[in-house]
Amino acid sequence: MRRRNRGMAATAALALALTLAACASESGPPTLTWYINPDNGGQVEIASRCTEAAEGEYRITTEVLPRDAASQREQLARRLAAKDSSIDIMSLDPPFIPELAEPGFLAPIPDDVAEAVTADVVQGAIDGATWRDELVAIPFWANTQLLWYRKSVAEKAGLDPSKEPVTWQQIMDAAAEQGKVLGVQGAKAESLTVWINALVESAGGHIIENPEAPADEVELGLESDAGRAAAEIIGTIGREGLGGAGLPTADENATMTVFQRDNGSFMVNWPFVWSATNAAVEDGTLDADLVDDIGWAIYPRVDEGTEARPPYGGINLGIGAFSAHVDFALAAAQCIVSPENQAYYFATNGNPPASTKAYDDEAVQEAFPMADVIRESLENAAPRPQTPYYNEVSTGLQETWHPPASVDPETTPTTSTDFITAVLRGEALL
């Protein structure tokens, strides 16, 4: 008797716990969950603005994703693979969109919505939201790297990047001659892929020639003049110490630190460096003179005669295919990406708009005097390879192109091609 009672009690407790865990109460207007990447509070604010604008039709709550892009993808892919209905809107890093679009994890964007959200949007952002010629995500904000330079150093080298586009060779020479350090991202992280891709694209090549191919048919374009040119630049900067001792672990933040020091010269980086540097001056950590010494221009070229293809980043909004409220989610996403919200986001969080209209906003022009250069850069920006196997490609590149000093134009393109091909065929571990 006693035995049975105890067993039943245990079962009941477990059942209760399971029910509590599984069931969420539903009342009032539907609540949309927006998975956001961490920022300075801008997306939370936009969510509440759009909740207000919906006038009781729906509410938007936010859930934050990890800091680095690869982990963001990890979290979302895991939940979507489980057909999770709690994901309504997602802030997606563009390179990972194909992987989620291919198995149908993203709800299709109706034509009328697609048309509305691509009007006046920079080309890079549209490319980054497209998979197999269909718009699968809604462009939200678009990021690009600029060339930041210390005016004193450029002047001494006889360069004026704001007037005349410079080449990688020129800035490398300038840094070497003056014993200064270049700011590039050599850490074994996504930022290294960003750099490699920008170099390969600027040299007229592509990391992947046929991004839409299935895993075992993907062809890499690294064993080309463009791939070798990229390897030459990265290898030289690494071997000759032009990136400083911190290069093999330098992410965007560390690069900025190096640039702000006395031996800073040129740096490729996202616009956040402007607000961060100004904040450090306000704290009294950096000299006010420093800000006056900083200039900006379009990303450096690889060939003198070919326009650079700067890195493209940012966030597009995906709609969860298993969401119970796809219609509301689409409406909410359209509200989120309105030019006003994009301008607000740029001015307060430093993330540039995908919409060209938002650049004309006064607050934007005031906070970011380089807004027009950013817009121009975005028009030429090249997305990273749009393939469902982006994670493998990017990690494979990081595995073979790191540390920068080990990169050799003769061998690295071949090694990395062989390695990534083997990984994609399931013949090698990553």
Partner 1 sequence: MRTLTTRAKVAWAVITVVVLVWALLPVVSIIATSFKLPSQLNLGTFWPKTWTTTNYEQIFAGSAKDLFLPALRNSIGISLIATFVAVVLATLAAYAIARLDFRGKKLILTTALGVSIFPVISIVTPLFNLWRNIGLYDTWLGLIIPYLSLTLPISIWTLAAFFRQIPWELEQAAQVDGATSWQAFRKAIVPLAAPGVFTTALIAFFIAWNDFVYGISLTSTSAARPVPAALAFFTGASQFEEPTGAISAAAVVVTIPVVILVLLFQRQIVSGLTQGAVKG
Partner 2 sequence: MTSSAVAPGATTSENGEPRAARRSDRARDEARLGWWLAGPAFVVMLAVTIYPILQAFYDSLFSYRLTAPSDKEFNAGQNYVVVLSDPVFWQAFLVTAVITIITVLVELVLGFFLALVMHRAIRQLRGVLRTAILVPYGIITVVSAFAWFYAFDINSGFVNHWFDWVPGIDPDLNWFAHQGTSLFVIMASEIWKTTPFISLLLLAGLSQVPGELEEAAQVDGATAWQRLQRVVLPNMKAAIMVAVLFRALDAFRIFDNVFIMTNGANGTDVLSLLAYRTSIGRLEIGLGSAISVLLFLCVIGICFVAIKLFKVDLASARGEG
Rule CB under 8 A: choose which of 11, 61, 249, 285 binds partner 2. Answer: 249
Nearer to partner 1, 37 or 341 (CB): 37
169 class by beta-carbon count within 10 Å (0-12 exposed, 13-18 middle, 19+ buried): middle
Rule CB under 8 A: choose which of 249, 285, 306, 411 binds partner 1. Answer: 285
* CA 85 to chain CA mean position, Å: 26
Q: How far is CA 192 from CA 97, 187, 236, 315, 430, in A?
A: 19, 6, 15, 19, 16
3-state SS, residue 148: strand
3-state SS, residue 352: coil
Main-chain phi, psi angles of 64, to 5 degrees: -90, 145
181 class by beta-carbon count within 10 Å (0-12 exposed, 13-18 middle, 19+ buried): buried
430's contact among partner 1, partner 2, none, with CB below 5 to 8 A by partner kind, is: partner 2
40's contact among partner 1, partner 2, none, with CB below 5 to 8 A by partner kind, is: partner 1
Q: Which tokens go with 46?
A: 């936009």
Rule CB under 8 A: choose which of 246, 334, 348, 360 binds partner 2. Answer: 246
Burial readout 394-412 (b: 16 or more C-beta within 10 A, e: otherwise): bbbbbebbbebbebbbeeb
Nearer to partner 2, 74 or 376 (CB): 74
245's contact among partner 1, partner 2, none, with CB below 5 to 8 A by partner kind, is: partner 2
Q: Which stretch binds partner 2 (CB under 8 A): 76-84, 134-142, 159-167, 171-179?
A: 76-84
Quote the least distance from Cβ 251 to partner 1, whole Å: 8
Under the binding rule (CB under 8 A), the answer on residue 146 touching partner 2 is no
Nearer to partner 1, 61 or 411 (CB): 61
Q: Can you name the residues that pair with 320 across neighbouring β-strands?
A: 106
Q: Which stretch binds partner 2 (CB under 8 A): 34-42, 129-137, 376-384, 421-429?
A: 421-429
**List of residues contacting partner 2 (CB under 8 A):** 3, 70, 74, 77-78, 81, 99-100, 102-103, 105, 187-188, 244-249, 254, 257-258, 388, 391-392, 395, 402-403, 426-430
